[in-house]
Amino acid sequence: MPWQRPPDVPVGRVWGRFRGRERDGSPPLMYQIRDMEEPYRKPCLDLMQETFIRDEPICQALGISSDPESIETIRKNWEEILLQQISIACFTEEDGEPKDLVGFNILMVKCKDDEEEDITKVKGDSWRKCLKTLVCAEKLVDVFEHYNVDKYLSSSGLTVLPGHRGQNIGARLIDVRKELCKPFGIKAACTVFTAKTSQVLAAKCNYQVIANLPYADMVKHGVDLSGCSTAEAKVMGIQFE
């Protein structure tokens, strides 16, 4: 059975606050990272569909943005992940309250006894190839054994809106996972980082590379990623105290 958020940790928490940087002479904004509550799910998924699929290297190389069936499948997949109620969003803050949505991270908890998805049944050719790449990377290392855990936090995509890039929001969304995991007893986080930018951010947040997948290796699996702007995927993780 997929992991579910326990009722004793209700949705609605703020996990972090920080001050941004001055830009073009304007004073720095305050930001807050909080649970992605239900009213924000659709706006987040709309932006994810628009921004992430456009910017993410594997999605670019496979032309997912021009594959309606793949987009529909990805959207349904994200909607299912959000049911775990552990995803987070970043907002500008005014008087202690969230104002404008500026970024978010679709998160999930993976458990040792989760059923493995049958990729051959996934609809959308380009998404199926993307998923195959992610699975190949994940299978390079047994994360549960590596960290000696029965569950860990993972990610299915992180996006920061263009107008707020350069404010270190991506790194903050990655770094706040440590605080997020505490009340759930989650002792590790691990993600397949597919873009050079996110790999650099994860390293800044003390994530370690535990496996590498050169995209050229996917040719033998029938996936041509020769047009990818990043050379390899990195499986990066961190163990919490």
Ordered by start, the domain boundaries in the chain are: 14-239
> What pLDDT shows up at residue 185?
98
Tens of each residue's pLDDT in the chain, 241 residues: 689 999 999 999 999 999 999 888 889 999 999 999 999 999 999 988 988 999 999 999 999 999 999 999 999 999 999 999 999 999 999 999 999 999 999 999 999 999 999 999 999 999 999 999 999 999 999 999 999 999 999 999 999 999 999 999 999 999 999 999 999 999 999 999 999 999 999 999 999 999 999 999 999 999 999 999 999 999 999 999 8
* Per-position b or e across 21-40, b if 16+ CB within 10 A of its CB: eeeeeeeebbbbbbbbeeeb
User: Residue 51 pairs with which residues in a beta bridge?
Assistant: none
Burial class (CB in 10 A: 0-12, 13-18, 19+), 128: buried
Tokens of 52: 């992430």
pLDDT score at 1: 64
CA distance 161 to 91: 11
Task: Please check whether the domain covering 14-239 is classified as CATH 3.40.630.30.
Answer: yes
